[in-house]
Amino acid sequence: MPKGAFYVCLYYPGYIGLAKGVYRGKLNDRLFSVRLVDHLRPLEILDFDNRMEMREPGLFEPANKEWLIGTPNLAVMAESELLCFLERRGDHHRLSYPRSFTQLIISYEIETAPTFTDDEFVFHEQVLDHFINLYRCITNDVKITAKSRIRRNIPVVLVAVVVYDKDELNLSPEERLYKARNLGFVLRQLSIAEFTHELPKVTHDVEEASGQMSALRFSADQIALVDAYEELLIDRNFRSAFLSAFTIGEVIVRKYLYQLKLKRGASKGKLDEFEAEIPFSYLLNVELPILIGNLTDEERQILGAVDRARKRRNAIIHKGEDVSQQEVVDTLNAVKNLRGLLTAHSL
C-alpha cells in the first residue's frame, strides 16, 4: 500500500512545445503525472573580462563585480525575442543571451514515505524518458534532446515527499496523486560531469602538439576518426562511434586498393565498373595481404582486429546487437593502426 507521493522538480533544457498543464499516464503499472509548470528564459553571460576568485577558503566572488548591463554594441533580435546582447569592454567583450528551459514536476506514489529508496528515486528517470520520447515522436522536435544524450545543462534534481494521512488513503490512487499540494523541494542530485570538461587540462603533450601545428597537414579520414572519438567520449553514443570508426576503416582500405590497382596497371574503367561489387571481407582478407605482400605478424594482427570489427558490424546492423564501450575503443585503435599500416606501405 502506498504511504505517500514523491515529487521531482527539474528544469529541462529547451522549449518543450506543449501547453502548461498536467500530463498523466501509467508506466510499469504505476500511475504518474508530469506537470509542465512553465517555459523559462534564464540569462547566460560569457564575461571574458571576468573570473572567479577565492577570497578565503570556500568563498568565491567575481573579480569584476560590475554585473549591470550597459549600452550594447550589438543587440540581435528575432521574432520579437532577444537572441544575444554584446558589449565591448577594452580588449574583451561580454556576451549575454537568454536560454530556453522547461520546468517540469514529476509525481508518483511510493511505499516508503517519508523516506524513499534509490529505486523509487530512479523511477523518475523512466517517467522523464517516456515523456520526452513521446513528445519527440509526436512532434519530431529534435531540438529537445533525449535525456540520455544531454551533455550540457544536465538538470539539477529537486525532490519532495508527501506522507498520506488516513483520509487520503481512502481516496482513489488518482485522487491522492493528482491532489494539489504545497511542496517544499530540496536538492537531491547535481551532475558535475559537464563541468569537468571545462577544466584546463589535456592528456597530450602540449609542447609536442604545439610543435606539430606548424605542419598543418591532415586528411579527411583523420578528421572523421576524431569525430568518432568525440561520439565515444563526449556524446557517449557507442553504436554511432563504432559504425563511424568501422566505416572509416572500410573507406581507407577501398581507396588504398583502388589506387594500388591503378598503379599496377588495372583499367580504371573496369575498376569503376566492378569495384563496388567486391565485398569488404574479400578486400581485407584476400586482396590487401596479397597486393601488399610480406606482412609481418603484427600487421596480420592489425588486419585481424579490423576483420573482427567487420563481423561485429554485421551483427550490430543486421541483428540489432548492442555495442560496448570497449568494442568501440578496440575498433578505433584497430582503424588507427590500419592507417599506420597503409602509410608504412605507401603507394
How many angstroms separate the CA atoms of 333 and 341, rounded?
Answer: 12
Query: Is residue 201, in this structure, part of any structural domain at all?
Result: no
Query: Is residue 17, in this structure, part of any structural domain at all?
Result: yes
Give the residue among 243, 268, 273 at the shortest CA–CA distance from 258.
268
pTM: 0.78
Q: Which domain holds residue 15?
A: 4-41+100-196
What CATH number should be reported for the domain holding residue 266?
1.20.120
The predicted structure's pLDDT at residue 1:
65
Q: Based on the domain organization, do 257 and 340 belong to the same domain?
A: yes
pLDDT tens per residue, the chain (347 residues)? 678 999 999 999 999 999 999 999 999 999 999 999 999 999 998 988 888 888 888 888 888 877 666 677 888 889 888 899 888 877 888 888 999 999 999 999 999 999 999 999 999 999 999 999 999 999 999 999 998 888 888 899 999 999 999 999 999 999 999 988 999 999 999 888 778 877 888 888 888 888 888 876 788 888 999 999 999 988 889 999 999 999 999 999 999 999 999 999 999 998 988 888 899 999 999 999 999 988 999 999 999 999 999 999 999 999 989 999 999 999 999 999 999 999 999 87
Q: Would you state the cell numbers that stand for residue 333, as one nine-digit string?
A: 585503435
Q: Based on the domain organization, do 138 and 183 belong to the same domain?
A: yes
What rounded mean pLDDT belongs to the chain? Answer: 90
Residue-wise pLDDT for 3-54, tens only, equals: 899 999 999 999 999 999 999 999 999 999 999 999 999 999 898 888 888 8
Q: Based on the domain organization, do 329 and 268 belong to the same domain?
A: yes
CA-CA distances (angstroms) from residue 12 to 121, 143, 178? Answer: 17, 12, 22
124-132, Cβ contacts within 8 angstroms, sequence gap of 24 or more: 124/6, 124/8, 124/157, 126/27, 126/28, 127/27, 127/32, 127/34, 128/10, 128/12, 128/34, 128/104, 130/25, 130/27, 131/23, 131/34, 131/104, 131/106, 132/12, 132/16
Decide: residue 187, CB within 10 A, 0-12 exposed, 13-18 middle, 19+ buried: exposed
The predicted structure's pLDDT at residue 62:
85
Q: Over the Cα atoms of the chain, what is R_g?
A: 28
Give the residue among 279, 231, 276, 252 at the shortest CA–CA distance from 345.
252
Q: Based on the domain organization, do 244 and 163 belong to the same domain?
A: no
